[in-house]
């Protein structure tokens, strides 16, 4: 498959780089080699499409991650946006803006992207290769959904749930910023986030009506649901699920988690969810009327959670 694609690309240095990527992607690349990718049928489904850029020294530093992890992480972050819509990823387009000093890493970056494509069942169906002075990977993900989870879908009375346990990427970042190697478990949470694709689809089928993935931090991302839905979100700080050694406030501010927050008018059974996905699902609050925004409570008193996570640079 990939050899067939490669032989169909014309000559030139840019295309040699593309050939490298395609060869490396193997079965994780499909139908590349035209000006654009073609998708034949959506059936009854809606098409979901999202684009996400990972920039060196903004989203990661070269010394923190392997090149394979940089590729994987960029793809996982992009896949997470489509997962947050309750959609099944269909394929992705990879635009690499790559400096000369990164050229030797094209294979390893492609391996990482290919790994994310394989795990998500979303082959690379197109892309672009440019020179640049810093590495930037812009990954566009296409997916399909029958029931779309929008940020506008939260209503007063809904329950608010979050998947997984928060705080790992934020804790890893603190180690990195102090030039220390984080413990393996924290490092993995930062370097190899898992887009919650099947989890979000299951939540959509179980009654969830709005969702967002945690990229900027729980407190910031809930703010987007509150703003889009025009509702107040009351969050019980003590119920926020965190990993060992991380406070609830740190968990609420930790970004690039790629866990999913949903609102649902019906109760969702966390035990069934855990049995399916071996992952926690935790009710952390509820949707209320009033001034749109996010309010955190501890023992019944409102507490301030300092604003959203900002990328480190």
Q: What is d(CA 188, CA 254) in angstroms, rounded to the nearest whole number? A: 15
> What part of residues 99-128 is at the interface with a copy of itself (CB under 8 A)?
125-128
Among 25, 201, 203, 212, binds a copy of itself (CB under 8 A): 212
| Tokens encoding 108 | 């390893």
> Which residues ranging from 142 to 181 are in contact with a copy of itself (CB under 8 A)?
142-143, 145, 148, 150-152
Are 187 and 172 within 8 A, CB to CB? Answer: yes
Task: Pick the closer one to a copy of itself by CB: 138 or 263.
Answer: 138
The pairing of beta strand 293-298 with beta strand 232-236: parallel
Q: Which of 65, 116, 141, 191 binds a copy of itself (CB under 8 A)?
A: 141
Q: Which of residues 220-259 bind a copy of itself (CB under 8 A)?
A: 220-221, 223-224, 226-228
How far, in Å, are 161, 198, 236, 274 from residue 282 at the CA level?
Answer: 5, 17, 11, 10
**CA distances for 312 relative to 46, 77, 169, 204, angstroms:** 35, 16, 12, 32
Q: Return the residue of 157, 245, 290, 307 that touches a copy of itself, per CB under 8 A.
A: 307
Which stretch, 110-118, 135-143, 279-287, 297-305, contacts a copy of itself (CB under 8 A)? 135-143
- CA-to-CA separations, 24 to 1, 68, 74, 214, in angstroms, rounded: 11, 12, 17, 30
Q: Compare residues 34 and 244 and give the one whose CB is closer to a copy of itself.
A: 34
Considering only residues 2, 22, 24, 59, which one is a binding residue for a copy of itself as defined by CB under 8 A? 59
**Of 10-39, which residues contact a copy of itself (CB under 8 A)?**
10-14, 33-39
Q: How far is the CB of 70 from a copy of itself (least distance, A)?
A: 15
| Centroid of chain to Cα 157 | 27
Nearer to a copy of itself, 277 or 312 (CB): 312
Which residue in the block uniquely carries the two structure tokens 């007063």? 156
Return the H-helix or E-strand segment holding 114.
helix 106-120
Name the residue nearer to a copy of itself (CB basis): 28 or 50: 50
- The whole-angstrom separation of Cα 176 and Cα 189 is 13
| Size of site (CB under 8 A) for a copy of itself | 75
Comparison of 81 and 257: residue with beta carbon closer to a copy of itself: 81
Q: Cα–Cα–Cα angle for 168, 171, 173, nearest 5°?
A: 110
Distance CA 103, CA 306 (A): 40
Residue 1 found at the interface with a copy of itself (CB under 8 A): no
Query: Of the ranges 65-73, 164-172, 217-225, 282-290, which one interacts with a copy of itself (CB under 8 A)?
Result: 217-225
Closest of 168, 179, 215 to residue 309, by C-alpha: 215
Strand pairing partners for 295? 234
Q: Which of residues 65-94 bind a copy of itself (CB under 8 A)?
A: 81-82, 84-85, 87, 93-94
Asked if 9 interacts with a copy of itself (CB under 8 A), we say: yes
Reduced to 3 states (helix: H, G, I; strand: E, B; else coil), residue 280 is coil
| β-bridge mates for residue 94, sequence order | 127, 139
Q: How far is the CB of 271 from a copy of itself (least distance, A)?
A: 27
Rounded to whole angstroms, the Cα distance separating 128 from 122 reads 17
Q: Which of 29, 136, 248, 261 binds a copy of itself (CB under 8 A)?
A: 136
> Which listed residue (3, 16, 58, 177) binds a copy of itself by CB under 8 A?
58
| Shortest CB 52 distance to a copy of itself, Å | 5
Q: Which is nearer to a copy of itself, 34 or 178 (CB)?
A: 34
Binding a copy of itself by CB under 8 A: which of 1, 49, 108, 270? 49
């Amino acid at each position: 498959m990939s050899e067939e694609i490669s032989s169909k690309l014309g000559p030139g240095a840019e295309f040699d780089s593309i050939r490298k990527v395609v060869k490396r992607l193997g079965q994780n690349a499909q139908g590349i080699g035209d000006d654009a990718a073609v998708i034949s049928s959506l059936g009854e489904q809606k098409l979901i499409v999202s684009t996400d850029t990972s920039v060196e020294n903004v989203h990661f530093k070269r010394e923190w991650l392997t090149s394979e992890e940089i590729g994987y992480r960029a793809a996982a972050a992009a896949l997470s946006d489509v997962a947050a819509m309750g959609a099944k990823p269909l394929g992705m387009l990879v635009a690499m803006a790559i400096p000369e000093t990164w050229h030797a890493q094209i294979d390893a970056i492609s391996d990482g992207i290919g790994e994310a494509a394989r795990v998500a069942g979303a082959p690379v169906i197109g892309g672009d290769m440019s020179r640049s002075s810093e590495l930037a990977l812009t990954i566009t993900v296409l997916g399909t959904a029958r029931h779309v989870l929008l940020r506008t879908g939260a209503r007063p009375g809904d329950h608010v749930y979050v998947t997984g346990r928060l705080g790992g990427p934020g804790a890893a970042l603190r180690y990195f910023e102090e030039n220390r190697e984080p413990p393996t478990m924290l490092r993995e949470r930062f370097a190899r986030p898992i887009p919650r694709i099947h989890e979000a689809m299951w939540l959509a089928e179980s009654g969830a009506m709005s969702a967002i993935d945690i990229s900027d931090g729980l407190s910031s991302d809930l703010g987007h649901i509150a703003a889009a839905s025009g509702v107040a979100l009351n969050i019980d700080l003590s119920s926020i699920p965190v990993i060992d050694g991380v406070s609830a406030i740190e968990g609420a501010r930790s970004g690039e988690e790629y866990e999913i927050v949903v609102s649902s008018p019906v109760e969702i059974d966390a035990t069934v969810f855990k049995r399916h996905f071996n992952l926690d699902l935790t009710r952390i609050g509820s949707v209320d009327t009033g001034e749109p925004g996010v309010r955190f409570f501890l023992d019944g008193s409102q507490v301030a959670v300092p604003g959203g996570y900002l990328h480190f640079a």
